[in-house]
Structures are given as C-alpha cells and as structure tokens.
Amino acid sequence: MNSTLHTIKAGILAGAFFAMVVSPSTWSQGIEEIVVTATRRAENVQSIPVAVSAFTGEDLANLGVTETLDVAKVVPNFVAHNNTGLGTANTYSLRGLNNTESIATFDPPVGTYVDDFFIQRQNSNNYAMFDIDRVEVLRGPQGSLFGRNTTGGAGRVILTEPAEEFGGYAELGGGRFDRISARGSVDIPATDNFRMKISGYYINDDGFVDNVTTGKKGLNHEDNVGIRGAILWQPSDAASWNASLTYIENEHANMYNYTDGDDRFTRSGLVTDGAPFAGLLPGAQQNFDLGNETRSLHFTSDIEWETALGTVNILTSYLTLEQDFLLDFFEGPFTSGGFTIANEGQHDQFSQEAKLTGSVGDKVDYIAGVFYFNEDNETDLAQIFNLGAIGLFLPGGFPLFQYDRTMDNGVDSWAVYGQFDLHVTEQLTFTAGIRYTDEDKDFGITDNGNPAAGNKFNSRDIEALGVPLEQGKSIVTPRFALEFEATDDFMIYASATRGFKSGGWNARGTAAATLTPFSAEKIWNYEGGIRSEWFDNRLRVNLTGFYSDITDFQLPSAYVNPVDGSITFITQNFADLEIYGFEAELLANPVDNLTLFANVGIMESDYKNLDPSILAQQQNCLTNGAQCAQGIVNPHGNIAPPVRAPEHQLSVGGWYEIPITDSINLVPRINVIDYGEHNISTSGQDVALLDGYTIINGGVSIEHPAQGWTLTASCKNCTDKDQYVSYLAGFVYLQDPATWSVTLNKRF
C-alpha cells in the first residue's frame, strides 16, 4: 500500500510539472545545446541513439552538485551511496546493476571515467567537483566503445581544458560540523600555442558521529585535498597534446551510526590510541587510526592529430592508489572491535588506447581503435571477529583472529573495436559496432606468518583444492541501432547492445575452500526512445524504455559460519536477472530565466533461473527454519528482491534567476528527490526493505555577473531525514544528516 501511494505521489508531482510547462504562451528563451562525447565523438546530446544524461558545469552549480554522489539524484534509475565503511568509495546502481564489494578482486558494473580514461577501483571513484566542464551519465551497457565493466552504464567526468586567456576562479566556504572548503583554478596561456592550468580543492569538517563507548568524537569526518596541473600544446593546426597530473588525498569513513535527537552516535569499542593491535597485527596496520584514507596520483595524456583518414588520438593513463583503513563493522564494547577489518592496499593501473575517428563523405561516420589495460593490486588485509559480538564470551570478549594475509591480483586486457554510422537517407541512420576483448586475470594469497592469526594458507593450498588461480575471458560485444530523425527536433531510435563485467574471486573467505572464483556477467540490453524539443527548443522531452537480460549474474551473499558465528561473504553466478523499465527526462524554460526539470525512472527487476543450491537453501529455511536470512533467502523463506532497484525514482526541481537590481540577481533553487520502495540487503532483512522516502536539497544565490562573484547558501537533506540507505552484517547505515554551507565564488 505504501509503495502504491508513493508511486501515485510521484506521478502526481511529475504530472503537475508537465502540466505547468506545456503551455507555450509565456515562453521566451530556448534550452542550451549540450555537446557530448558519449559516442567517442563530439555530438549534440539530442542527436545520438544513446540514453545519456548530460550536465554542464553551470548546470551542476545550479543543481547544487558538489560531488559525484550528487549526480545520481538528478539521473533516472540511478542510485548512489558511500560504500559501507568507506567514505572514499561510491556504490553506483544504474538500472538496477550494482556492486557493493570494494575488494580488488571485484569489478564494478558502472564504469567511472575521467575524460576518456577508465578508473578501475571503486576506492577512488568519489570525486569532489572542481574544474568540471561537464558530466555525462550513459545508461545501459556500453560494450562496443567503452568495453568491459559497463553492464550498468558509465559515468564520465570531463574536466576543463586550459583556456586561451588568463583567468580562473577562487571559492571559499564554510558550513555545518565546522566545515571549511576551498576551490580554485587559474588558466595561464604561456604562448599562443601553449597553455597551462592549475586547479585545486580542500575540504575539511569535524564529523557528525560521536563514539559513546570510547568517548571519541568527530567520526565520519572528511579531510580531502586535491591538486591538478594540466597543459594544452598545439604545435600546429593539425596537432595537439593534452596532459594532466592529479594528486588527491582523501580521508573519509562511513561508520554505521544511530540517532539520538539531532545527534548521531556509534557504540564500537575499537580503540586506536596506543597501537591497540600491537602483538596482533604486524607492521603499519597496528598504528592505523579508525577510518579510511586514500592517496592517488593520476597522469593522463591525449595526443591528437588530423590525418587524411581522420582524427587520431593516442590516449595514455597511469593511476597509482594507496589505501589504508581500519573499520569496525559490528558494534560491541571490545577494544579489538566486534568485526574489524584492517586493510593496506596498493593499486596500480595503466591503459593505452589508439583511436581513429573519421567520415567517408556524408554517408558514413566511423570510429575504430585498440585498447590495452593492465592492473596490479597488492592488498594486506586482516580480519578479527570478536565472539563477544554474538554473546559467546567471558567478560572482556574474545577476539578471534580469522586471518592475516596478503593478496596479489591483476589483469591484462586488450581489445579491438569499431563502429560505423551509415546514413541510409537524410533521416535514417543505421549503427553497427563491435568490440573483441581478451583478458587474463591472476590471483594469489600469501600468509603473513602472524602467529596470532588463524586460517593459514597460501596459493598452493587453494590450488590443491581445485580453485584456479588464473582465469581468462574472450568475448565479442556488439551494438546495433536504428535512428530516425522525423524532424530537426524529433528523433526516435531503437538499439540492442551486449556488454559484460569481468569475473573474479571471493577474496574475503576465511577458509581456503571459500576463495572460489566467479565467472563474467553478461548482458543484452534492448531499448527504444525518443529525443524531442518543442516550442522553439523551450521544452525538451526525452523518453526511453529498456529491457535488460543478464545471464550469470554475480550475486553477492552473506552466510553465517555455523561453527563460530562469523560471517562469510560469497559471490557466485547464482542466478540470471531480468530488468525492465522506463525513463523520462523533461527540461523547460517556461519564462525568462526560469529552468524547470523532472527526471523519472520506473523499474522492475526479478531473479531468473536460480541455482539449485539457492532453491535447496530456501526449502531448508521453510522446512527446518535453518539458513534463513542468508544469501538471497529472506527471514521468511522467500527469495529477496534484487538490491538498489527502486520501483520509481523522481527528481523534480529548478532554479530562477530573478533580477533584483540592474546588475545583481537572486537565484533560488530546489531539488526534490523521491524514491520508491526498494531493498538494500541481498538477504532481504525486514529492516532493509525500505518504504519510499523523499529528500530535499536546495539553496539560494546572490550573483553579480559583471563583477564575477556569487554568494551561495545551500543545504542537503534539508529536512534532516534519518533514512537507511545501506546494510551490512546486521547493521543499517544512515545517510548523512542535514548539512548547510555558505560559499563565495569569485571569477577573474
């Protein structure tokens, strides 16, 4: 009943918006055209047969978007949250496809790109928005042009290039929880053909969670700093070189917490002062502070030149990431924590791509290329489970040191791809693309020789049990599309696209036999839609319907060890998955300086072809009351619904530039985000089955365009909604409380 009422409410809100904007009598200005590179070439977002949401840097400012998590709130069928425990890692769910596991043997289904460069690790995908040209979110698999690990889609952050003239901006801000922020950028044109840019940001706050067991305050704080240098060299009209170097330090945890009025608290007994794990953990881990830290360095290079065959791009990227975290995922008054994971990781990735883009007359547009990707990961991880957390303890608790080991894994992947657009007539275009990918993965375990740890084994022990330490995959991922431009302002299209997500290993298992591999996940996605603009480009209406058929779905599950009560996380290809839905994106300028938008996503997802082991577990639960609330069997013996797939998602709002003097404008803005009923736990715990809920973000700015300054006051979760958004090991994670900020931005 709640779900039905919530869906009706969402429909009424969207309908009211549409009724308000369809009357053209007062309209006087058009919608700005956005040029995107979602098809790896520059095109108008309204002219391509792809489901893509695009936002300029100005749009992002008007929407109050300051980090990548905010983007999901204005894109249909897109849900994003910090991963449980890890504030530097985002979990993206796009069209119902997601992955909450951040360990390096798992790959995400939603690809993250900075410019044209792929970011593999989830641990480095939470970006503060600074120096952004635009953001593109491509919904659905992008198998032919973007390749692996984009079964759900791809999020692309495109940074600004160095400008031709000297200039830039500086921004200072403050806010709730003693937040301090600073952003800035300066363009330096050294010569007519050589330009430079330096950008940076700093964010710090005191956190909003207090530990009532240890007395420590300011948990879930944020302390981030980043700097980027970029150059653009144009030695001739036919050649250019874009290069950048970005360094980011990010300290941000996401510990579970509870509410007490306006306050948030946690009850973990984990003590980090005075090396609490001395004698238990060797090396640097015994001195880790409670929380999560990452340090990354990213180099990119794009060499471009015009040839007789077309435009050639040589794209090179190298990213190195270090991560340290010590987190307690299970409360209890124990100095070693309830369920504690200590992690020290080193992740290095390199990619090289050569791409040719061109045309044959006005009949054929083509793109072709080769791509190579290499990644090496070394993760030193330890896991401690306190038997006191489940009541099996003498006073003081008993820490069960489950393991202390180092994991090495990597991937070598190469691909060749091509796509052409055949303009059959002036109105009809046929697109065909294909990508061949060949990849090899390896995996190994080395016990750290810690006498306090249990479950000691090495790679040879795993292999002796029949667990392969290497796996390879060769796959062809095609794309076909038909596009018909009925008029300059109305296009209809249909497409079929295949994609895949790489396989991996269950690296968190406590016993050697549980470190099993899982296979690649495959998808065929069929969709159709219209892209339209009305009333002299003053109303934009984009509609998309889709059906996704996922085979060998990588299903993460948690099981309880019947011997010691500890939790084992296992992912296998336990089922297939079927998802279908509808998306509407409406944008309007009904009167001068007023922008209104409404983005709606409706979705249904169901497991198919369940593995016999799942059916046997379900029967055991129904018959004997055993193995309930584990895997995807809920506490009542039913199959839990897929996670993070809301029945609907609505984002509606706008901004209005109101002249209050000849030179100063007042710009209020609001964004209301409404989510339908959905599940956030694979096992469908009752507390994790969320009713629909609504979040409100908003703000107001005073701007002086001629002098280049803007003063903004804004809030996120303005009504201070205490809402569960994630679940792990019996604990639900709340979204952040209400925050407010004031910023002053000056352009020069």
Type and span of the H or E element at 251: strand 239-254
Tokens 């693309």, located at residue: 433
**pLDDT attached to residue 562:** 63
Tokens standing for 147? 């390749």
Q: Is residue 456 part of a domain?
A: yes
Q: How far apart are the first and last CA of the chain?
A: 55
Total domain count, the chain? 1
Domain membership of residue 332 as a residue range:
2-234+241-279+297-309+317-609+640-747
The strand pairing partners of 385, in sequence order, are 339, 400
Let me know: does 727 contact 688? Beta carbons within 8 Å.
yes
Q: How far apart are CA 73 and CA 89, in angstroms?
A: 17
Let me know: does 531 contact 47? Beta carbons within 8 Å.
yes
Let me know: does 52 contact 77? Beta carbons within 8 Å.
no
Q: Phi and psi of 415, rounded to 5°?
A: -150, 155
Q: How far apart are CA 222 and CA 184, in angstroms?
A: 19
Q: Burial, 657: exposed, middle or buried (Cβ in 10 Å; 0-12, 13-18, 19+)? A: middle
Let me know: does 319 contact 348? Beta carbons within 8 Å.
yes
Q: Is residue 484 part of a domain?
A: yes
Q: How far apart are CA 65 and CA 4, in angstroms?
A: 30
**pLDDT attached to residue 8:** 45
Residues 133, 54, 153, 631, CA torsion sign: positive
Let me know: does 95 contact 546? Beta carbons within 8 Å.
yes
The edge-to-edge listing of strands for the beta sheet with 263-266 is 209-211, 263-266, 258-260
The strand pairing partners of 608, in sequence order, are 576
Q: How far apart are CA 613 and CA 596, in angstroms?
A: 50
Q: Is residue 647 part of a domain?
A: yes
- DSSP 8-class letter at 462: H
Tell me which residue of 172, 268, 208, 374 sits closest to 736, measured CA to CA: 208
Q: Give the CATH number for residue 367.
A: 2.40.170.20
Residues in the chain where the model's pLDDT stays below 70? 1-29, 124, 273-280, 282-283, 332, 387-399, 560-567
- pLDDT, tens digit, for every residue of 393-442? 444 455 678 889 999 999 999 999 999 999 999 999 999 999 999 999 99
Q: Is residue 548 part of a domain?
A: yes
Q: How far apart are CA 337 and CA 55, in angstroms?
A: 43
Q: Burial, 702: exposed, middle or buried (Cβ in 10 Å; 0-12, 13-18, 19+)? A: middle
**pLDDT attached to residue 16:** 47
Q: Is residue 497 part of a domain?
A: yes
Model-level pTM?
0.92
CA 241 to chain CA centroid, Å, is: 29
Q: Is residue 629 part of a domain?
A: no
**pLDDT attached to residue 230:** 98
Residue 648 CB partners (closer than 8 Å, separation 6+):
6, 7, 10, 600, 601, 602, 603, 674, 675, 676, 692
Residues 106, 576, 141, 77, CA torsion sign: negative
Residues 612, 615, 617, 620, CA torsion sign: negative
Residue 681 CB partners (closer than 8 Å, separation 6+):
640, 643, 688, 689, 727
Q: Is residue 626 part of a domain?
A: no
Q: How far apart are CA 96 and CA 645, in angstroms?
A: 5
Tell me which residue of 603, 447, 576 sits closest to 519, measured CA to CA: 576
3-class secondary structure for 41-61?
A: CCEEHHHCCCCEEEEEHHHHH
**Bridging pattern class, strands 78-82 and 90-94:** antiparallel
The strand pairing partners of 475, in sequence order, are 437
Q: How far apart are CA 72 and CA 56, in angstroms?
A: 15
**pLDDT attached to residue 638:** 95
Tokens 């928005």, located at residue: 129
Q: Is residue 625 part of a domain?
A: no
Q: How far apart are CA 226 and CA 133, in angstroms?
A: 17
